Amino acid sequence: MSLSLSSKQTLNKPVVNQVGGNAPLLTKEVSLTREKVTSSALSVISSIPLDELNLTPEVNTSKSMNKSPDLHERQEAIALLQKNAKIFGCLPPEFRADEEIAFAAVNLDGKALKYTSKELQANQRVVLAAVKQNSDAIEYASKELQGDEEVVLTVINKPNFSLWAASESLKGNKVAVLKVVAKNGLDLRYASKELQADPEVVHTASIQNGLSFEYANPKLREDEQLVTDVVRQCPFALKYASKELQAHRGVVLAAVSNLGTDLCYASSELQADKDLVFAAVRTHGHALERASAELQADRDVVLAAVKKHGGALKYASAKLRADRDVVLAAVTEDGLALEYAADELKADRELVYAAVSKNGEALEYAADELKADREIVLAAVRQNGYALRYASAKLRADREIALLAVTQYRNAYNFVDVSLQKDEEILRIAKR
């Protein structure tokens, strides 16, 4: 026996195909039997537009099958599939249950897995071939293989894979989603509602990217134990916790001990809690921005903040920005913190020297008389030649200073006084 094909016109009414099932309002019906193949079989298939083929066979038919196809029939079936892979769904059940025919079909169209037998939907070789061709084919694999690590990895490791383009079945596959969100937590956004409510999935996504906590089920964002565990490890996750937990001292303490700037998501009452704010500024000085005004004027809190990040001086009270010890601590950590110091301290020679030694560009914020101080300017350009830009006109014409600046940063030549721009040594260094 071999395959044969017939094609006939239908008139906008349901038709029944060879292996069962109704196909409403289709214009052509194709059926394949094990009768002797006609010489025109392949030409008939190639002459029918794909969108006019009735390809809605019964899936996984329970009808008794004939004997398995022989070698010749198998070759004919594969030849038909190579001409049009969509034909697989119209093959007799025993052909769709043949591993080699099914393997050839899913290599051409992964979704042909839908029409194979239950046994082949549980066959790893066939399923792997199907998902390699089309990741959405995992929907038709057996439940066991939908959770098979090799199958899942084949799907999610495909180039440019993102859960947003996956089938609904895959979005609800816990094994797959866990693998995906472990690499890109924000893909939790596209997971099924059930998995967005799964603590393990949400925790895995949040560990990878705290911002993914936004997509967790609201009930999970109210769970004190889960939220505490998440914020302890995941920056920014506190932003999406419930309002009640943003006002919970233990939860907020766990968050700011991980990333101080998460203080911005805490309730106003907790932003005025000195011990909690201390914990925050010790991990990130800029958390001082969200502290209460009272704590921005607290010398101990501010000192802790500027020792961690000198730029936090920006958020200190005016009184503390005029406190020499506080400002010295700030510029020692970050010279550019000089910008936020009180004007009288910008004229403090020792303090400015400390600032420019840390970052030469701090010279921009020094008092004018110190921009004309040769020792200060030398320290600044030694650290960063660009600082020459802020030196007084007289010192930009100082050959030693100019030479030191362009040696450190050749583009500092742009700030050298015109009287030195033709100096051979300065030109040579600038052109290197």
Most confident range, picked from 51-65, 142-156, 413-427: 413-427
Per the CB < 8 A criterion, the answer to whether 196 and 217 are in contact is: yes
Contact 372, 347 (CB under 8 A): no
Structure tokens at 91: 């093959």
Confidence of residue 25 (pLDDT cuts 50, 70, 90): very low
Mean pLDDT of the chain: 87
Q: Which residue has the tokens 């403090």?
A: 348
Question: Which of the four pLDDT bands, split at 50, 70 and 90, describes residue 100?
Answer: very high
The whole-number average pLDDT for the span 301-307 is 98
Amino acid residing at 377: V
Count the Cβ atoms, other than its own, within 10 Å of residue 144: 12
The 10s digit of each residue's pLDDT in 42-92 is 445 545 555 555 554 545 544 445 788 889 889 988 998 998 888 898 888
Tokens at 149, concatenated? 């690590």
Q: Is 58 exposed, middle or buried (0-12, 13-18, 19+ CB in 10 A)?
A: middle
Per-residue H/E/C for 250-304: HHHHHHHHHCHHHHHHCCCCHHHCHHHHHHHHHHCHHHHHHCCHHHHCCHHHHHH
pLDDT at 370: 98
Angle, CA 86 vertex, CA 82 and CA 90 arms, to 5°: 110
Q: Is 98 left (phi over 0), alpha (psi -120 to 50) or beta?
A: beta
Instruction: Encode the chain in three state secondary structure.
Output: CCCEEEEEECCCCCEECCCCCEECCCCEEEEEECCCCCCCHHHHHHHCCHHHCCCCCCCCCCCCCCCCCCHHHHHHHHHHHHHCHHHHHHCCHHHHCCHHHHHHHHHHCHHHHHHCCHHHHCCHHHHHHHHHHCHHHHHHCCHHHHCCHHHHHHHHCCCCCCHHHCCHHHHCCHHHHHHHHHHCHHHHHHCCHHHHCCHHHHHHHHHHCHHHHHHCCCCHHHCHHHHHHHHHHCCCHHHHCCHHHHCCHHHHHHHHHHCHHHHHHCCCCHHHCHHHHHHHHHHCHHHHHHCCHHHHCCHHHHHHHHHHCHHHHHHCCHHHHCCHHHHHHHHHHCHHHHHHCCHHHHHCHHHHHHHHHHCHHHHHHCCHHHHCCHHHHHHHHHHCHHHHHHCCHHHHCCHHHHHHHHHHCHHHHHHCCHHHCCCHHHHHHHCC
Digit-coded pLDDT (tens) for 337-360: 999 999 999 999 999 999 999 999
| Chain segment 181-212, per-residue pLDDT in tens | 999 999 999 999 999 999 999 999 999 999 99
pTM comes to 0.68
Asked if pLDDT for residue 8 goes beyond 60, the answer is no
Give the per-residue pLDDT at 65. Answer: 58
pLDDT of 143 > 50? The answer is yes
pLDDT of residue 51: 52
